[in-house]
Structure 1
């Protein structure tokens, strides 16, 4: 009798844990410890679930007395795997199609370079290949950003350079932004901190007519930085409260973490809409490059306010060996109306 009660309790606990892991926002747990980390890697969670099903099958075959328990637990795991696959399928396993670029369109490239690791030549070439008008480079120093701009100018695509650094000890505490000269003159306020641990950079057009551009680097939700991470997301919500904003960079968050942070229906965070969500790319992992894209975490994003329409997106997998642990992403935005 006691064994049955214990087994029933274990199955109920497993079912509750599986439900939280599959959809933590149902309980408002998406930014809490453990749940925040698990939901970041849905692909890994699915793989673990499949391995567990194989283990349960072997245990059931080897120990007949455990068959009912294994069958019940296997049902819980199967439901978790199916639900998780369906969630990823609805978000999209990748659509690399782009519409023809219009004269007013803006192409955004975002790449966390892990402290300049790919080198200026690789960053510049990636930017030139996609004809980027906006290049967002978390963990990239001003020296490298200036070199990238020089190479892009030589390639016929001159850029203005802006860098915000909290210190010059760790390259991770620098964020650089390159803007095509055709976008006009922009100013950046580097006197006030933005995100708490790693700098985000806000560029505003001098003539007031272009989009405000936010180069994002939120801290990772590791246990010691969880409170700072939550504050970073709150700051990003405020940063995208305007009518004409483009945000891009390393958010260290998936769209699960943004649940309840949008200010209107369809918004991802603040007034911004995630490009990957609207193009069928939201299940494609951008970190780490050591994992296949469908097992990784989609934590790098390009977002924009509703005045912009996403006309193409791609997670660039051809640069996995370039030195960074993040994949670059490229998004094409077209102004509505």
Structure 2
């Protein structure tokens, strides 16, 4: 290689650690810029990967005695960890439920519209869960026919009456009011209804917004978050929002939804478990969110995806009364 070609390459190699540090900063402490940029918001979903990169960069800067870089790596790492630390902090012991009637057990699962798996096995698993509410997204009309046998256990059902990825089915052991027409008429529908549990009425919101791969889809997903936040914030009833939200807890838009919708993430205290996997990447994008007064008794991700690219999320909640 000629000296004239080697010099730019050497400069690039010297700059590479700084460029990687800047990218890690943008994907973590700078992720708030993702409120306006779909590109930065996509970077924010990989916060755990960025933290791994920061560890590598810290080791490199110490080895090369680049102390400014080492200090910056530590500072960015601390700023990246602090907002998500509650997810790993053990929760205080929940008070024992006085009865099963005081609890609400929910499942949120994207079944995958072209799932090649055994649908009867999936139906059998759903029947065995003793859930109060089950939200199935990407639940096509064919899927719904295959799950018709669940009506004996979950007699109350609401459907988006759409096919493909717009299909959605809410199953309930308890009576459901008609779904709000505002959600059903959207190009990407949601189901908002009131469920009559033994312990009282609750507002249930099931969602599967757009995958924010581009500017218009990003805007459409965020508009649905804004509509959902309005519904949950203004509801006089206890609220549960669940579904494939196409967003991780690391996103500034997810944090916005929690704050503006007066919601908390049932995953807090349970760590991060991927609910979706594709191309070797796993991300927690399926959620159960609860309004004030709900105590999370149990929350887990089922290890078997049953042919889908998403894993079911199960949560057991107890309503203690609005503060």
TM-score, length-normalised on structure 1? Answer: 0.74
| 1:134 has 2:136 as partner | no
Q: Is the 8 A contact 2:277 2:309 kept in 1?
A: yes
Q: 2:266 aligns with which of 252, 259, 275?
A: 275
Give CA deviations for 1:133-179 in whole Å, capped at 9, x if unaligned.
111011002342343241463xxx3332221044x3xx112111111
**Compared with structure 1, are the counterparts of its residues 141 and 11 closer, same or farther at alpha carbon in structure 2 (3 Å cutoff)?**
closer
Shift of 1:251: 0.9
**Compared with structure 1, are the counterparts of its residues 119 and 178 closer, same or farther at alpha carbon in structure 2 (3 Å cutoff)?**
farther
Query: Could you tell me how far apart the structure 2 residues matched to 1:6 and 1:289 are?
Result: 32
Q: Is the 8 A contact 1:111 1:137 kept in 2?
A: yes
**Compared with structure 1, are the counterparts of its residues 33 and 106 closer, same or farther at alpha carbon in structure 2 (3 Å cutoff)?**
same
Query: Could you tell me how far apart the structure 1 residues matched to 2:88 and 2:289 are?
Result: 17
Question: Who is 2:4 aligned against?
Answer: none
Q: Is the 8 A contact 1:94 1:282 kept in 2?
A: no
Query: Could you tell me how far apart the structure 1 residues matched to 2:20 and 2:224 are?
Result: 32
Q: Is the 8 A contact 1:285 1:298 kept in 2?
A: yes
Q: 1:198 aligns with which of 180, 184, 188?
A: 188
**Compared with structure 1, are the counterparts of its residues 269 and 286 closer, same or farther at alpha carbon in structure 2 (3 Å cutoff)?**
farther
**Compared with structure 1, are the counterparts of its residues 188 and 30 closer, same or farther at alpha carbon in structure 2 (3 Å cutoff)?**
same
| 1:39 has 2:44 as partner | yes
Question: Who is 1:312 aligned against?
Answer: 298
Shift of 1:107: 0.5
**Compared with structure 1, are the counterparts of its residues 299 and 312 closer, same or farther at alpha carbon in structure 2 (3 Å cutoff)?**
same
Q: Is the 8 A contact 1:197 1:219 kept in 2?
A: no
SS at match of 1:296: strand
SS at match of 1:107: strand
**Compared with structure 1, are the counterparts of its residues 48 and 223 closer, same or farther at alpha carbon in structure 2 (3 Å cutoff)?**
farther
| 1:177 has 2:170 as partner | yes
Query: Could you tell me how far apart the structure 2 residues matched to 1:195 and 1:275 are?
Result: 29
CA RMSD of aligned residues (A): 3.9
SS at match of 1:199: coil
Question: Who is 1:234 aligned against?
Answer: 226
Count residues with an aligned counterpart.
Answer: 304
Give CA deviations for 1:179-233 in whole Å, capped at 9, x if unaligned.
11xx2242124x54559552211123589x5212111111122124111122121
**Compared with structure 1, are the counterparts of its residues 135 and 290 closer, same or farther at alpha carbon in structure 2 (3 Å cutoff)?**
farther
Query: Could you tell me how far apart the structure 2 residues matched to 1:299 and 1:105 are?
Result: 24
Question: Who is 1:105 aligned against?
Answer: 103
Query: Could you tell me how far apart the structure 1 residues matched to 2:65 and 2:38 are?
Result: 32
Q: Is the 8 A contact 2:277 2:283 kept in 1?
A: yes
**Compared with structure 1, are the counterparts of its residues 68 and 53 closer, same or farther at alpha carbon in structure 2 (3 Å cutoff)?**
closer
Query: Could you tell me how far apart the structure 1 residues matched to 2:267 and 2:185 are?
Result: 23
**Compared with structure 1, are the counterparts of its residues 234 and 206 closer, same or farther at alpha carbon in structure 2 (3 Å cutoff)?**
same
Shift of 1:12: 7.0
SS at match of 2:146: helix
Query: Could you tell me how far apart the structure 1 residues matched to 2:290 and 2:221 are?
Result: 21
**Alignment gaps of 5+ in structure 2:** 1-7
Give CA deviations for 1:47-84 in whole Å, capped at 9, x if unaligned.
44456667x58xx98xxxxx456x65455445545654
**Compared with structure 1, are the counterparts of its residues 204 and 232 closer, same or farther at alpha carbon in structure 2 (3 Å cutoff)?**
same
Q: Is the 8 A contact 2:297 2:318 kept in 1?
A: yes
Question: Who is 1:64 aligned against?
Answer: none
**Compared with structure 1, are the counterparts of its residues 282 and 163 closer, same or farther at alpha carbon in structure 2 (3 Å cutoff)?**
farther
Question: Who is 2:26 aligned against?
Answer: 20
SS at match of 1:283: coil
Query: Could you tell me how far apart the structure 2 residues matched to 1:68 and 1:314 are?
Result: 44
